[in-house]
Amino acid sequence: MNNRPKIVMDSEGIERCLTRIAYEILEKNKGMDNLALVGIRTGGIYLALRLQKRISAIENKKIPMGILDVTLYRDDVAKTSKKAPLGKTDIPFDLTDKKVILVDDVLFTGRTIRAAMDALIDFGRPKMIQLAVLIDRGHRELPIRADYVGKNLPSSLWEAVSVNLLEKNGKDEVVIEEGS
């Protein structure tokens, strides 16, 4: 079997997706009143930062952005053996009555998003929560869907999809490979 990683999206592709999503967010919400971005650790942070830059440039006004670590809200804290170090959560604005756009790199089972929604609601009562992802790879285990999708990427359960970003991995690309 072919074990080589396959690049399914390059740097330009990622940039174009984010530009489109930025416009879609503004179109759907009719501007940026009451809008806020929340990036999910870690990939979601960088994507949210890039969306923040774009939306703020289009509207000439800075859109608030927060960072969320959902580890403490996961349903598998005691079971998973691969544990990422707990990161900081930083939401420097009041969520109450805000329209919150959750941003993540890959939408897969939906469990991360479930945890993120629980976490957000502990911070206040947002008027609405929407979801933006760069990649939707399917295989949902919960009734969750994204409002903004960069690319739908049909994948097998044994494949691994990784979004590499300049800020974190030194280059921008989306890679799919056989899981180990």
C-beta closer to other proteins: residue 69 or 105: 69
**Sole binder of other proteins in the list 30, 85, 157, 180 (CB under 8 A):** 85
Burial environment of residue 111 by CB neighbours within 10 A (0 to 12, 13 to 18, 19 or more): middle
**Sole binder of other proteins in the list 90, 97, 141, 167 (CB under 8 A):** 90
Long-range contacts of 23-26 (CB under 8 A, 24+ apart): 23/58, 24/148, 25/51, 25/55, 25/101, 25/130, 25/132, 25/148, 26/55, 26/58, 26/59
Under rule CB under 8 A, which residues in 53-72 are in contact with other proteins? 69, 71-72
Binding to other proteins by residue 89, rule CB under 8 A? yes
Binding to other proteins by residue 80, rule CB under 8 A? yes
In whole angstroms, the minimum distance from the beta carbon of 140 to other proteins comes to 22
What does the CA dihedral 138, 142, 147, 153 come to, rounded to 10 degrees? -10
- Alpha-carbon distance 74 to 48, whole Å? 21
Binding to other proteins by residue 142, rule CB under 8 A? no
Binding to other proteins by residue 166, rule CB under 8 A? no
- Alpha-carbon distance 114 to 149, whole Å? 17
Binding to other proteins by residue 84, rule CB under 8 A? yes
> Among 16-24, 85-93, 132-140, 169-177, which window interacts with other proteins (CB under 8 A)?
85-93
Binding to other proteins by residue 118, rule CB under 8 A? yes
Binding footprint of other proteins on the chain (CB under 8 A): 69, 71-73, 77-90, 118-119, 122-124
